[in-house]
Amino acid sequence: MSPREKARQPLVGIALAAAVGIVLAEVFPAPPPYATCSLLILAALVSLIWPRPLCTVLLVMGGFFALHLVQQADAPGKKLAERLADRARPVTVSGAVVSEPKSSVGGFATFLLQLDSIEIGGGREACNATIRARWKGQPALGDEVRLTGMAEPVPPARNPGVFDMRSYLARRDVYQSLFARYPEDGAILATDGGNFILRLAAKSRAWMQATLTRGLEDSPDAGALISGMALGLRHETRDDIEEPFQQTGTLHLFAVAGLHVGIIARLLWILARLCRLPRVAAAALIIPFLFFYSAITGLHVSSVRAATMAAVLLGGIFFERPVLALNSLAAAAVLILAVDSNQLFTSGFQLSFAVVAAIILWQNRILRPLLRLSETDPFLPRSLVSRARRFFERCYFWTAGALSVSAAAWAGSLLLIIWYFCLLTPISLLANLTVVPIAFCILAVGMLSLLAAPFSTSLSLIFNNANWSLSKMVLGLVHLFAQLPGGHIYVERPHWPLAAPTEITVLDAGAGSAVHLRSNGEDWLFDTGSARDYEGFLRDYLHSRGIDRLDGVVLSHGDSLHIGGAIQLLDEFRPRRLLDNAAPDHSPVHHAMLVRRRQLVASGDSIQISHGVVASVLYPPAPFQAKAADDEALVVRLEIGRKFHVLLVSDSGTKTEEALLRTKPNELRSDVLIKGRHYSGEPGLGNFLDAVQPRLIIATSVDFPERERLPDAWAQMVRDRGITLFRQDESGAVKIEFFDDHWRATSFLTHAIVRSRSR
């Protein structure tokens, strides 16, 4: 970029100053309001008296610093959370639906509700906070509703490596959730309320979706892909469809951004020119249409950014001067941050602006060396260049241009993708080069279908069938690229300090179990949780740890809450070793794995987990069979570095404990005891704890059903023995790190830490 171009792009510096001011307001404690106002007035006076770029930068920085402080202080959602405290309370609320309701399989609609009033304990008061509501009703965007239910804080993520809905909503000043269990717990007071433009956009989106998917009812995957690409409706796409797009770096196709807005702007420009509109009139009509399309697609950051950039670029027509792309990108950033400074901390904002900035700055630098590879002799007249050579040059120029854009976008998003998704996608260069042109055709054909629908349903159906073929081609290519070896690699997020040689993460699987052991580069999993747990958090957790393949899996017993996710896990993570309980049971999951290669283990077996960890199976003996699966669960004792011991007893009850006290009393002593709940609700024997002598117990506990809740009397008995207890209904996941001379356990939710040195 030349010095002249830099001088013509002042908004770049202003956007950077705004970002710095917001970050400073987030990091440092808020100063008194009068101090902030005084500093702003002083900076404004200095910039007027001594108009220098540095003064302008400082003024912008101070302005956005104050803006972010004001937005944080004037937060009705946070005030409501302080009013309701950290406990569930029955409330009655009324307000307007301000987000598109999303329906679940059970018929519940989830949406954001802008409150008008709230009733707590019989008293009614005005309230303008926004909450997250879940109701078994059918509200629409803009409806005014009245709901009665239980309000409680938005629950936090209970396991590492998963999406934290609480933090995400907190950035939108949403801290409370309301659950209305039955349809009669709510009522729609009025319809067609709220913002007229947003309601019109929602109705337009519904019509467009119905039009684009007409005739594709028998192919929901293709319909969901077309709706996602054209309208940004990602929530209607199944995870197993969306995941390959993420693994190939083509997930951006579902985010309405520059590609989509560019197509819309181009089509509208062609239409305006066909109508013989002047350039100024055409630009004046296109700009509001682009923002309306952004509203149709949900006003996501990427679509608002693209519409704003396009508006700035088209705005140059009014002044008859060119507009630089980087300056328009900075203008979009400043406008978005001025409306909501919290956008700076969202992944969508960061990825959107980083990718576009990288394309603007680096695309030509990558393209020029590529073009030199195919240059003909500059002294050779073009008339002497063969047609085949000219055709090759045109194809190569197009390919090099697409490859340079893809490479610049990949480089610009690399660090953010690793940070947010723990994923490295080298295949994205090839995947985008192949898939994006087809996606362009899908968007163009979709627009033609929408234009034809009001006049000819048959013609619209023809376009939809063409799109069906294109979408099937995209799905096939994306799945092919996702399966290529080395095409995508899950990597662990960088952390400090360096990891311990051995660590155990006891994941919070409710009444089930999933324990991850990492030692000297080996990754093992003890139980997999239920099928719902695997989909809900276990897969994301393993990916966040940079695991593409497990070294081993141990299945304790045939309880679906413990091994229900095994089938999916074995298919996706292909463990090198599968150790299973030798005791027979009636578990359908176990029966489904009979065809798999597995090693049956029983009491007396020893397994070398890694160079520093040995697992000894203490129970059950072989052969053995009990009436209940919990009474034949594996009991495994881990020896770590010949200094520390961890005892995993799964859901074993008093019968197992009594058998171990009779047969192996001298092999029970351990530093840490990890236990579940027996189906009968028996908490365990005191003399068994005396034999184990743990310094820390990690125990599962959930409120429902009652037998899965850890009895308070047993918890008090544990504490009376001087043993630290982490009950997972309070602690969430627990991470235990083993060093050379000590170990440290940390609770994920409470951040409580327990330390101990070797015995």
For 174-229, how does the pLDDT look when each residue is reduced to its tens digit (9 = 90+)?
Answer: 999 999 989 999 999 988 776 777 778 888 888 888 899 888 888 888 888 888 88
Cα–Cα distance between 63 and 70 in angstroms, integer? 11
Q: At 429, is the pLDDT very low, low, confident or very high (cuts 50, 70, 90)?
A: confident
Range in 223-232, 531-540, 585-594, 595-604 the model is least confident about:
585-594
Per DSSP, the chain holds a count of helices (H) and strands (E) of: 26, 26
Do the beta carbons of residue 162 and residue 541 sit within 8 Å? yes
Give the residue ranges of DSSP H helices in 484-535.
Answer: 531-533
Span 398-416, pLDDT tens digits:
888 888 888 888 888 888 8
What does pTM read for this prediction? 0.87
CATH of 77-194, one of 3.40.50, 1.10.390, 1.25.40, 2.40.50: 2.40.50
- pLDDT tens for 135-145 read 998 898 888 99
Query: Residue 759: which pLDDT band, with cuts at 50, 70 and 90?
Result: very low
Please state the rounded mean pLDDT for residues 487-503.
Answer: 82
Position 124 scores a pLDDT of: 87
Q: Which residues contact 352 (CB under 8 A, 6 or more apart)?
A: 255, 257, 301, 302, 305
Name the CATH superfamily, with its identifier, for domain 502-757. Ribonuclease Z/Hydroxyacylglutathione hydrolase-like (3.60.15.10)
Task: Please state, in angstroms and rounded to a whole number, the distance separating the CA atoms of residues 755 and 759.
Answer: 13
Predicted pLDDT of residue 293: 84
Q: Output the six-digit token pair for 434.
A: 């192949």
Locate 193 and state its tokens. 């309320």
Nearest 5°: the CA angle 171, 172, 177 is 105
Q: Could you tell me which of 307, 344, 361, 470 has the C-alpha nearest to residue 68?
A: 344
pLDDT of amino acid 242 = 76
Two structure tokens written together for 649: 């007893």
Cα distance between residue 169 and residue 152, in whole Å: 14
Tokens representing 469 are: 């073929």
Nearest to 447 by CA among 224, 302, 256, 230: 230
Least confident of 329-343, 363-377, 620-634: 363-377
Alpha helix stretches (DSSP H) within 232-372: 239-247, 258-274, 279-296, 301-319, 325-339, 347-372
Closest by CA position to 609, among listed 658, 651, 553, 686: 553
Residue ranges per structural domain of the chain: 10-73, 77-194, 202-483, 502-757
In the structure, what pLDDT confidence band is assigned to residue 662 with cuts at 50, 70 and 90?
A: very high
Model confidence at 321, pLDDT cuts 50, 70, 90, reads low
Cα 375–Cα 378–Cα 379 angle in degrees, nearest 5: 145
pLDDT of 376 strictly over 80: no
Sheet holding 696-699, edge to edge: 606-608, 613-619, 635-640, 644-650, 672-675, 696-699, 724-727
